[in-house]
Structure 1
Amino acid sequence: MALMGFAFTKFDATRLSSPKGKITINHDIKIEDLKYANVQGHGQTNNGLLVEFSYTISYKPSIGKIRLEGNFIDIIDNSKEVADEYKKNKEMPLELREQYYNLINSKSLVKSIFLSEQVGLPSPINMPKLKFNKPEESDDKASESPKSTKK
Structure 2
Amino acid sequence: MYSIDKMRVNMEYTQLRASRFSRPSGKVNVANNSNISSISREGDVVNVSFSFTSTYNPSIGEIKIDGNMMLSDLNDGTERDLLDWEVGKGKDLPPALATRMHNTIISNCIVEATLLSREIMLPPPTPIPKIKIQEKKVDHDNKLDSRYSDMPDYIR
Query: TM-score of the superposition, structure 1-length normalised?
Result: 0.74
Do structure 1's residue 73 and structure 2's residue 70 form an aligned pair?
Answer: yes
After TM superposition, give the deviation of residue 85 of structure 1 in Å. 4.4
The one-character-per-residue Cα deviations of 1:128-151 (angstroms, maximum 9, x if unpaired) are 112233365436777xxxxxxxxx
After TM superposition, give the deviation of residue 69 of structure 1 in Å. 1.2
Give structure 1 stretches of 5+ with no counterpart: 39-46, 143-151
The separation in 1 between residues aligned to 2:46 and 2:99, in whole angstroms, is: 15
The structure number with the bigger radius of gyration is: 2
Q: Aligned letter for 2:45?
A: G
What is residue 54 of structure 1 aligned with on the other side? 51
Structure 1, 100-109 or 75-84: larger mean CA deviation: 75-84
Kept in 1: contact 2:18–2:64 (CA 8 A): yes
After TM superposition, give the deviation of residue 34 of structure 1 in Å. 0.4
Do structure 1's residue 134 and structure 2's residue 131 form an aligned pair?
Answer: no
The separation in 2 between residues aligned to 1:83 and 1:48, in whole angstroms, is: 16
After TM superposition, give the deviation of residue 83 of structure 1 in Å. 6.2
Compared with structure 1, are the counterparts of its residues 111 and 141 closer, same or farther at alpha carbon in structure 2 (3 Å cutoff)?
farther
Do structure 1's residue 18 and structure 2's residue 20 form an aligned pair?
Answer: no
**Number of residues paired by the alignment?**
133
The one-character-per-residue Cα deviations of 1:5-43 (angstroms, maximum 9, x if unpaired) are 2222221111011112332322221001100122xxxxx
The separation in 2 between residues aligned to 1:111 and 1:100, in whole angstroms, is: 17
Tell me the percent identity: 29
Query: TM-score of the superposition, structure 2-length normalised?
Result: 0.72
- Larger fraction in strand: 1
Which consecutive segments of 4 or more residues in structure 1 shift more than 4 A?
139-142
After TM superposition, give the deviation of residue 89 of structure 1 in Å. 3.8
Give structure 2 stretches of 5+ with no counterpart: 139-143, 149-156
The separation in 2 between residues aligned to 1:130 and 1:95, in whole angstroms, is: 34
Structure 1, 73-82 or 111-120: larger mean CA deviation: 73-82
Kept in 2: contact 1:113–1:124 (CA 8 A): yes
